[in-house]
Amino acid sequence: MSCYHIRGGRPLEGRLTVQGAKNSALPILAATLLAPGESVIENCPHLSDVDAALAILKGLGCRVWRQGDTVGVDASVLAGAEISRELMEEMRSSVVFLGAMLARMGRAALTYPGGCELGPRPIDLHLAALRTLGADIREENGLLRCTGRHMAGGEISLTIPSVGATENAMLAACGCPGVTRISGAAREPEIEDLQGFLQAMGADIQGAGTSTVIIRGGAPLRPARYRVMGDRIAAATYLCAAAAAGGQVALTGVDPEHLRAVLTALEQAGCSVQTGPGEIALTSGGCLCAVPPVVTEPYPGFPTDAQAIFMAALAGGRGVTLFRENIFESRYGHVAQLRAMGADIQVEGREAIVTGAGGLHGADVRGGDLRGAAALVVAGVAARGETRVTGLAHIRRGYDGLDVGLRALGADITETD
Ligand code: EPZ
């Protein structure tokens, strides 16, 4: 079984351009279904989740190609409107294809995405939003059969600012004649990136990044060329590694505003952070100090996807920090593995109390989910001694060469069998 072999405790130095954003690329790839013709997506990261999205598009009849960080999708001729069970299980966020399939083909069949390592992953808000637009959705034996022959714009009110439900509603509304208003929408930067691509396709859509998105749908759309924004969580990962190990790094290709809450927390932990257009520089003496409670919230609050990563950075520091995970039910899978590296972390329901151990030691640890596995790599880079991290399949879902990026910043990390 392959693993990352890390010799930790060295400061990080260097510059790195951050990968394209996984959570932008996936809904944008789904949106390519909305128009016949070839769309070209630049800065598309090499990820297993992107591979799964491309497999779904091919399964629907699209012709897809990749050249470096550029991906092409020709959705001229679609055949079939079904996503296989194995592809749905490979990537639960493929539910976002539902809105695009209804908008383009008026029908869709896919299996219920089901829960994952983070807890239940309900899609009730997705289905309610699509039903508001006139979709007929029947759930039978874990299969969702959807038809939307006569969909029309409507008023969608999301009780939770769900990223996926907002994206599904945006995509479906593009195919619905009339005005759709999505209130209570998620405000994540990835939603704005999706809006940017849809506008490039000719969609009349405004408001992404605020709680109200308005779409005037029904007009034919055209394929477009679009560059995916930088991945704010990948950026947070490299910054937390440098913060914990000490050193001086500079990241390019990501908007500092997209991870302001994380940058503020890193400054509170003792790092010096400078930002400019598309650039973040961080200097750290290592051994971080405690910070005010870290409470995960919808954007622009502290992102749930950075919770494990930041916890790993603080675990080897000093002082006591309270974490509260408000978004997902069970997102502390990384705690037991961090304890194996000497971390002192007490978990009580959605709260975790981290008491800095004044440095962690290397260990053989296993990642159980995407960001939890990345957190173990962050801890290993800062820890004294050698760490082996298994569970790389989780990491490959969301990081385009995490080991390569960290080596570029001076970490001693190699992938071994
Ligand atoms: C997106 O997941 C991201 N994934 C997640 O990133 C991210 O953690 C999450 O948003 C929150 O920011 C992608 O964009 C591909 P939600 P999503 O719907 O859309 C509840 C990563 O590490 N909910 O915003 O699935 C849900 O249970 C991944 O890159 C309902 O109750 O998240 C959760 O508690 C992990 N009913 C909360 O809303 C619904 O119909 C937020 O979930 C939908 C969601």
Q: Which of 106, 96, 155, 104 is nearest to 127 (CA)?
A: 96
- Ligand 1 contacts CB of residue 304 (under 6 A): yes
Please, what is the end-to-end C-alpha distance for the chain in angstroms?
Answer: 6
* Whole-number pLDDT of residue 89: 85
In the reported structure, the alpha carbon of residue 122 is separated from the centroid of ligand 1 by a whole-number distance in angstroms of 9
3-state SS class at 344:
strand
Q: Report the residue among 19, 22, 23, 231 best suited for mutation to probe ligand 1: largest number of ligand atoms under 8 A from its CB.
A: 23
Output the CA–CA distances (angstroms, integers) from residue 155 to 59, 136, 152, 233, in the order listed. Answer: 32, 17, 10, 32
Task: Determine if ligand 1 sits within 6 Å of the CB of residue 125.
Answer: yes
pLDDT tens string 257-303? 999 999 999 999 999 999 999 999 999 999 899 999 999 999 999 99
Task: Tell me the pLDDT tens digit for each residue of 312-360.
Answer: 999 999 999 999 999 999 999 999 999 999 999 999 999 999 999 999 9
Q: How far is the CA of 371 from the centre of ligand 1 (A)?
A: 14
Distance (Å, whole) CA 51 – CA 122:
24
Model confidence at 214: pLDDT above 90 = yes
Nearest CA to ligand 1 atom 31: 122
CA distance 382 to 114: 35
**Cβ atoms within 10 Å, residue 1:** 9
The answer to whether residue 235 scores a pLDDT higher than 80 is yes
Strand order in the sheet with 294-295: 294-295, 320-324, 351-355, 344-348
For residue 7, which phi and psi values (nearest 5 degrees)? -105, 105
| Interval 58-69: pLDDT, tens | 999 999 999 999
The reply to whether ligand 1 has any atom less than 6 angstroms from the CB of 24 is: no
pLDDT tens-place string over residues 158-208: 999 999 999 999 999 999 999 999 999 999 999 999 999 999 999 999 999
pLDDT tier for residue 142 given thresholds of 50, 70 and 90: confident
Share of residues in the chain with pLDDT > 90 (%): 93
Give the tens place of pLDDT for each residue, 17-29: 999 999 999 999 9
Residue 164 CA to ligand 1 center (angstroms) comes to 6
Catalytic residues: 116
What average pLDDT does the segment 83-101 reach? 90
Using alpha carbons, list the distances in angstroms from residue 212 to 48, 152, 184, 191, 192: 32, 18, 6, 12, 12
Which tokens is 285 given? 């003496």
Quick one: the chain helix, strand, coil %, rounded to 5? 35, 30, 35
Distance of CA 204 to the CA centre of its chain: 26
How far away, in angstroms, is 117 Cα from ligand 1 center? 12
State phi, psi for 158 to the nearest 5 degrees.
Answer: -90, 125
pLDDT at 234 over 90: yes
